[in-house]
């Protein structure tokens, strides 16, 4: 019963995604600071009553080491802020996109990107978000922010991005 | 609002059944040992065909790595019957085999080619056949003649009349294309402004499974090649849906879903129905590939701490680890005779194509690229098509499964990737 309700909501969420525009995220120029390529969340930063969370909510990305999916300690405050925001705003939904650098198998990178996104999802749920609010997906190596064949570029592409509904 | 609508429109998938704009070109890199010297003489009357049929036959045979074309210049009137052939002349030109024939237009407007394959040393006919065809089928007919010659001379089925699929990325545009095995005659099956991945031919050669990002995440489709529009997805679950692989009987699709957590392998019917989970682990399980007998599935898993290749019964059960050398072995593909496992291995930071003899477990390195990926066996098992890159551009390459012969297929100014070799025609 609970499961059926959950899948119904999942389907609703997926169909919601299908009708949203596709070109929202512009890749940053090579060499850009990690967080610069992402929108700075106007609906969130401008919202009154969330002063403590403002700074952290503008950060939307988690970066990883090569072949790794563990979340480094430095990203915990950011995830905590988003988890708290989702907990306090049950109507908000989030898509977490896991990305990889170009090295290795395309399909394995889909799985690795999914692991990265799944790690973020798990953390957000621990911080108070509900399963219904967050969907982890993978873009593998298919949507690189930066396309040079160098570590400078690869480190930007090994990334999870958190996008609120309306941003993807 | 209007910009959102515009973006949605721009991102909409367009389907197109027409010739693709750029053809693949082929460059032969290595030579094979024990090549059969063959003289393909011009066919009498072939100048009225849309294309030179003997030129295509000669190119097919040379490209296979199994034949060496003998110079056929200086023949004034091409022989059409065995009695007209000057065998001592062709023996002195070092041909072991030769092909003669004639083309003509039939009263009903169709075309006809009759040819004979001759043994120069024995001065006898090995085989001969006649084809009736339309002008549009000229290339296919040439490929079929090359297949006939290849099979008679090597004892193996030829793959010249089969087709290949691959992905082309040109700027922001992604295309799924299908072409003849020589890269010519390319057709677009799907065009999108979002990535397309992992094309996989159905065993019937009439449908293709693939992954599309058109809805901002990987979802799985099965599309008939003759379809005029994209059908509904077969897997569009929460999370990612990818890595399709067909069972040899075409009745099942293995794919990777994340609806229950990490990437796990599921089986479903090709319409997405009758879904059941095959692997049960906390690890990444992906890249399923059925063995030709349909009994087992090879896949990639990091359950042992690094990505390695495993095999498990297609009905479920305990996986057995297959690769032990190195810490990154992925993309398993089994040869059509079930004897060779091709896969990609990371060796000193380079991603290279490997072949494991499944009986002796002996491993051979087949390529020396930096980023070789996505291997796909020809249906006769002789050649493995794969993706590599040259000067920062994705190209397709092929290597004989014994590693002796290599060739490259590229399109100017486009990234070509993820080849999938289709089945034999008529299967």
Mean pLDDT (chain B) is 91
Residue A138: closest CA among chain B residues belongs to which residue?
B240
8 A C-beta contact, residue B100 and residue B90: no
Per-residue pLDDT at B11 exceeds 90: no
Check A104 against B240: CB less than 8 A apart: no
pLDDT digits (tens, 9 = 90+) for B78-120: 899 999 999 999 999 999 999 999 999 999 999 999 999 999 9
Residue B255 pLDDT class (50, 70, 90 cuts): very high
CA of B326, closest CA in chain A: separation in Å? 14
Check B8 against A102: CB less than 8 A apart: no
More confident residue, B8 or B305: B305
Q: Which CATH architecture does the domain made up of B35-154 adopt?
A: 3-Layer(aba) Sandwich (3.40)
Say how many C-beta atoms besides its own lie within 10 A of residue A1's C-beta.
5
Residue B163 pLDDT class (50, 70, 90 cuts): very high
DSSP H/E element including A108: helix A106-126
8 A C-beta contact, residue B254 and residue B198: no
Q: Give pLDDT, residue B383.
A: 93
User: Which residues are CB-contacts of A75 (< 8 A; sequence separation ≥ 6)?
Assistant: A62, A63
Q: Give pLDDT, residue A17.
A: 34
Per-residue pLDDT at B257 exceeds 80: yes
More confident residue, B12 or B60: B60
| Closest C-alpha to B419, from B224, B168, B222, B213 | B168
Q: Where are the beta strands (DSSP E) in A32-156?
A: 61-63, 94-99, 134-140
CA of A53, closest CA in chain B: separation in Å? 27
Phi, psi of B224 (to 5 degrees): -75, 140
The Cα–Cα gap between B195 and B172 comes to 9
Task: Count interface pairs A-B at CB distance under 8 A.
Answer: 136
The Cα–Cα gap between B261 and B284 comes to 10
Q: Domains (ranges, CATH) in chain A?
A: 52-168 (3.30.1330.60)
Check A108 against B371: CB less than 8 A apart: no
- Both tokens of B232, joined, read 């509904």
Per-residue pLDDT at B426 exceeds 80: no
Q: Give pLDDT, residue B227.
A: 86
DSSP calls for A31-53: T--GGGGS---HHHHT-TT-GGG
| Lowest pLDDT segment from A21-35, A138-152, B11-25, B374-388 | A21-35
Q: Give pLDDT, residue B412.
A: 67
8 A C-beta contact, residue A94 and residue A148: no
SS3 B296: strand
The Cα–Cα gap between B218 and B14 comes to 18
Residue A44 pLDDT class (50, 70, 90 cuts): very low
Give the mean pLDDT of B389-414: 84
Chain A environment of B242 (Cβ under 8 Å)? 107, 110, 138
Q: What percent of chain B has pLDDT over 90?
A: 81
Per-residue pLDDT at B32 exceeds 90: no
Q: Give pLDDT, residue A168.
A: 85
The Cα–Cα gap between A137 and A141 comes to 13
Per-residue pLDDT at A11 exceeds 80: no
Give the mean pLDDT of B250-274: 97
User: Which residues are CB-contacts of B11 (< 8 A; sequence separation ≥ 6)?
Assistant: A21, A22, A23, B192, B193, B194, B214
> The domain B164-421: what is its CATH number?
2.120.10.30
Highest mean pLDDT among B47-51, B242-246, B405-409 belongs to B242-246
8 A C-beta contact, residue B338 and residue B291: yes
ipTM of the modeled complex? 0.90
Check B240 against A138: CB less than 8 A apart: yes
Domain boundaries, chain B: 35-154, 164-421
What length is written for chain B?
427
Considering only the beta carbons, identify the residue of B10, B262, B418 that sits closest to A106.
B418
| Closest C-alpha to A83, from A45, A121, A43 | A121
Chain A environment of B373 (Cβ under 8 Å)? 104-106
| Lowest pLDDT segment from A38-47, A61-70, B104-113, B132-141 | A38-47
Considering only the beta carbons, identify the residue of A18, A19, A142 that sits closest to B213.
A142
Q: Give pLDDT, residue B413.
A: 67
Residue A17: closest CA among chain B residues belongs to which residue?
B215
Q: Give pLDDT, residue A6.
A: 42
Q: Give pLDDT, residue B105.
A: 96
List helix spans (H) across B12-137.
53-63, 87-92
The Cα–Cα gap between A98 and A62 comes to 9
The Cα–Cα gap between B145 and B51 comes to 14
A→B contacts (Cβ < 8 Å), by residue, are: 10, 13-14, 17-24, 67, 95, 97, 102-108, 110-115, 118, 135-140, 142-143, 149, 168
SS3 A4: helix
Name the burial class of residue B7, with classes exposed (0-12), middle (13-18) and buried (19+) by CB atoms within 10 angstroms of its CB. middle
Is residue B136 within 8 angstroms of chain A, CB to CB?
A: no
User: Which residues are CB-contacts of A15 (< 8 A; sequence separation ≥ 6)?
Assistant: none
């Amino acid at each position: 019963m609970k499961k059926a309700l959950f899948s119904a909501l999942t389907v609703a969420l997926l169909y919601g995604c299908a009708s949203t525009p596709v070109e929202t995220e512009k890749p940053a120029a090579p060499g850009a600071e990690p967080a610069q390529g992402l929108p700075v969340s106007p609906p969130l930063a401008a919202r009154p009553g969330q002063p403590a969370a403002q700074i952290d909510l503008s950060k939307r990305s988690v970066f990883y080491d090569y072949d790794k999916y563990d979340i480094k300690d430095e990203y915990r405050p950011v995830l905590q802020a988003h988890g708290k925001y989702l907990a306090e705003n049950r109507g908000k939904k989030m898509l977490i996109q896991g990305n990889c650098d170009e090295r290795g198998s395309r399909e394995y990178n889909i799985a690795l990107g999914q692991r990265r996104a799944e790690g973020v999802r798990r953390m957000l749920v621990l911080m108070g978000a509900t399963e219904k609010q967050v969907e982890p997906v993978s873009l593998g190596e298919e949507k690189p922010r930066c396309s040079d064949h160098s570590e400078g570029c690869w480190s930007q592409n090994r990334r999870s991005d958190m996008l609120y509904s309306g941003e993807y | 609002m209007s910009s959102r609508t515009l973006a949605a429109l721009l991102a909409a998938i367009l389907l197109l059944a027409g010739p693709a704009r750029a053809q693949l070109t082929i460059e032969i890199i290595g030579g094979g040992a024990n090549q059969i010297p063959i003289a393909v003489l011009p066919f009498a009357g072939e100048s009225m065909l849309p294309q030179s049929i003997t030129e295509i036959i000669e190119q097919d045979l040379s490209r296979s790595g199994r034949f060496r074309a003998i110079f056929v210049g200086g023949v004034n009137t091409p022989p059409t019957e065995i009695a007209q052939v000057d065998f001592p002349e062709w023996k002195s030109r070092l041909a072991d085999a030769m092909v003669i024939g004639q083309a003509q237009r039939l009263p009903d407007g169709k075309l006809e080619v009759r040819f004979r394959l001759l043994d120069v040393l024995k001065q006898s006919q090995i085989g001969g056949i006649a084809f009736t065809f339309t002008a549009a089928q000229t290339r296919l007919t040439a490929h079929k003649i090359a297949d006939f010659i290849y099979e008679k001379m090597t004892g193996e089925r030829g793959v010249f009349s089969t087709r290949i699929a691959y992905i082309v990325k040109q700027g922001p545009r992604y295309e799924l294309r299908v072409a003849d095995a020589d890269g010519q005659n390319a057709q677009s099956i799907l065009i999108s402004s979002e990535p397309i991945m992992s094309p996989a031919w159905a065993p019937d050669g009439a449908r293709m499974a693939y992954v599309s990002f058109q809805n901002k995440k990987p979802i799985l489709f099965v599309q008939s090649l003759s379809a005029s529009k994209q059908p509904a997805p077969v897997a569009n679950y929460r999370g990612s849906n990818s890595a399709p692989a067909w069972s040899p009987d075409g009745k099942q699709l293995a794919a990777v879903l994340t609806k229950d957590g990490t990437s796990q392998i599921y089986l479903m019917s090709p319409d997405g129905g009758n879904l059941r989970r095959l692997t049960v682990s906390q690890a990444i399980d992906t890249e399923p590939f059925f063995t030709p007998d349909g009994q087992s599935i090879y896949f990639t898993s990091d359950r042992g701490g690094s990505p390695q290749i495993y095999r498990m019964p297609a009905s479920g059960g305990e996986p057995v680890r297959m690769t032990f050398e190195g810490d990154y072995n992925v993309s398993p593909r089994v040869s059509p005779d079930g004897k060779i496992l091709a896969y990609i291995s990371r060796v000193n930071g380079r991603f290279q194509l490997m072949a494991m003899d499944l009986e002796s477990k002996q491993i051979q390195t087949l390529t020396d690229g930096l980023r070789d990926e996505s291997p796909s066996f020809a249906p006769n098992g002789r050649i493995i098509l794969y993706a590599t890159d040259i000067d920062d551009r994705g190209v397709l390459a092929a290597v004989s499964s014994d590693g002796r012969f290599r060739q490259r297929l590229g399109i100017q100014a486009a990234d070509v990737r993820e080849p999938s070799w289709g089945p034999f025609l008529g299967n």
